[in-house]
Amino acid sequence: MFMEELGLESAGLDKLIKSSYKLLGLISYLTTGEMETRAWTIVDGTKAPGAAGKIHTDFERGFIKADIISYEDLVKSGSMTEAREKGLIRSEGKEYVMKDGDVVNFKFNV
Read off the pTM: 0.85
* Domain definitions of the chain by residue range: 25-108
pLDDT tens-digit readout, 74-109: 999 999 999 999 999 999 999 999 999 999 999 999
Question: 48-61: per-residue pLDDT in tens?
Answer: 999 999 999 999 99
- Which pLDDT score, from 0 to 100, does residue 110 have? 82
Q: Residue range 33-53: average pLDDT?
A: 95
- Return the H-helix or E-strand segment holding 60: helix 57-61
What CATH architecture is 25-108?
Answer: Roll (3.10)
Kindly report the three-state secondary structure assignment for every residue of 82-107: HHHHCCCCEEECCCCECCCCEEEEEE
